[in-house]
Structure 1
């Protein structure tokens, strides 16, 4: 398929991206690793020995960071619709988080353990129609929030990617109903032109 000028420009930007180059140099699977590291450095989410769930994990940048920071005494459970190459210290499930069967698999692996951090960098395949894409992103965020209600420790945290748009304020209100504190994070590694933000909720109400 012939590349459009837009796709060529994106590829050129991606190749020349500082964080992409740094990820390759340091052995991280994606530039997204730097987003999580920056947020964790500020908010201290990944405690040694913690149980972490990574939703929408592939290619594994966030899982790599989590496994390294929680250490051997911690546990990282990762889930994605797409295949992911194994990462030491990460228990991966391939499946669609929207399906009950896949959710049950994750619950079985948790085996009654409560989770210290649920993190979700999930994004659907983008259609290019802003209203449709916004609704899909928020639906995934809502599923993550429901998972937190059932499996998060009382003092646990939820870090979730959202996009600014029509449903953003509604989801922010829903987060505030579940968590005592909710803050917005826009790490340096998140491209300026991107509408993505990360909401961090801490301590269940």
Structure 2
């Protein structure tokens, strides 16, 4: 059964506390979302980028919150809801209930959507008790840059959960360039930026 696949995946994380278990559940949801986006054809027109790309594709040793993408070619007409049906069906195939909502604004190049899932607690056997004050839903933000910078290079990478599928993603040099831009241009300091920067440097990324 598909629920057993999810349970086995959760066990692989070997979470030591409730926070690690919550993060593992969210990452499982992220991978299911990527599989659904693959089926919906997103990677024919966009590349995976950002911290979660580093985490899932390149095994960066920190969890990441959002799923970020950049179109291969500028297109202000990009519309997230065109992909929602495939996403909802992907989650439903694992016995999960997904709510998808478009939060894009017409005057912004970065189009946003949110995915909410509230049934993991019924499908999975969780090891750490949940309190009423704990998050009851898994929330994933999707962002796609519809007017991306030029000269980024993409490659095909493969993910093996929840089943083998391929994603188009920015290569390490392009990801590193994006991180340098964040470090130089972000108006405030994020510790994760420096963590990622040191990860790139340790691998002599250029």
Asked whether the two chains share a fold, i.e. TM above 0.5, the reply is no
**TM bracket (short chain):** under 0.3
Q: TM-score, normalised by structure 2?
A: 0.26
Relative contact order higher in (CA < 8 Å, ≥ 6 apart):
2
Higher strand share: 1
Q: TM-score, normalised by structure 1?
A: 0.26
